[in-house]
Structure 1
Amino acid sequence: MAIQIPTELLDGAVLAILAEENLYGYALTKRVQAQLPVSESTMYPVLRRLKKNEALTTYDEPFEGRMRRYYQLTALGRQQLQMIQADWHGFSAAINHLLIADDKQPAKNKLTNEGVE
């Protein structure tokens, strides 16, 4: 995918995944990477920003002799996710309308239709 992912959409992807279950950083990164081309070095700043903005909290749990930091959605994070989802619904509909040609209607050039070439 050559299209750069806007920050708000990456935030929304992380929040949506964490709305389903709490995950530690590496597992969360792998879940996002299964759908979007992002690096680990991109994900951790996203998680820090969401935590700083109180959309996420963290807690540590032991695993095989070391601690794993888990990320958990907060009530504020759920609100933020709902806003991103609402914004995405309208935005994606508008982009689809512009980018996906209707097979029944040929594309028209506005200048040609007005008699200006």
Structure 2
Amino acid sequence: MKIQITGELLDGLVLALLNQDEYYGYALTQKVKNVIDISESTMYPVLRRLKKNGDLTTYDKPFQGRNRRYYQITTTGKQRLNEILQLWEEYKGNLDQIFYQKGEEK
């Protein structure tokens, strides 16, 4: 069984990683794959949407005769990340109340 990840949570994961460092698309996908099952075909539309929303910027850098597109978080992206983190803490707290409740009367 796999727990489904919402788009907003995926946005948060991407923004959190980019808040730590800049990544090119494949490397970013691999980082996210360490935590959740995601394909490149899912990741690139997320990156395009975050860029369109102003949460990310990109730049190209040559590597072995090809260009790699690197992603950077923007000030807007950092604000969005903080919003997602607040929502996550609230959501997680609500779930934890149910998962870890002790001996309440029925």
Alpha-carbon separation, structure 2, partners of 1:47 and 1:107: 47
* Number of residue pairs aligned between Structure 1 and Structure 2: 106
Any gaps of 5 or more consecutive residues in structure 1? Answer: 109-117
- TM (norm. structure 2) is 0.95
- TM (norm. structure 1) is 0.86
Alpha-carbon separation, structure 2, partners of 1:47 and 1:71: 8
Alpha-carbon separation, structure 1, partners of 2:105 and 2:30: 40
Show CA shifts across 1:26-62 (max 9, x none). 0000000001111111101100000000000000000
Against the structure 1 CA distance between its residues 39 and 107, is the aligned structure 2 distance closer, same or farther, given a 3 Å change threshold? Answer: farther
Alpha-carbon separation, structure 2, partners of 1:95 and 1:69: 38
Any gaps of 5 or more consecutive residues in structure 2? Answer: none
1:78 paired with 2:78, answer yes
Alpha-carbon separation, structure 2, partners of 1:11 and 1:55: 10
Question: Where does 1:64-75 land on structure 2 (aligned, <5 Å)?
Answer: 64-75=64-75
Show CA shifts across 1:42-92 (max 9, x none). 101100000000000000000001100000000000000000001100110
Residue in structure 2 matched with residue 98 of structure 1 by the alignment: 98
Runs (4 or more) in structure 1 with deviation over 2 Å come to: 99-102
Q: Which has the larger radius of gyration?
A: 1
CA RMSD of aligned residues (A): 1.2
Q: Partner amino acid for 2:100?
A: I
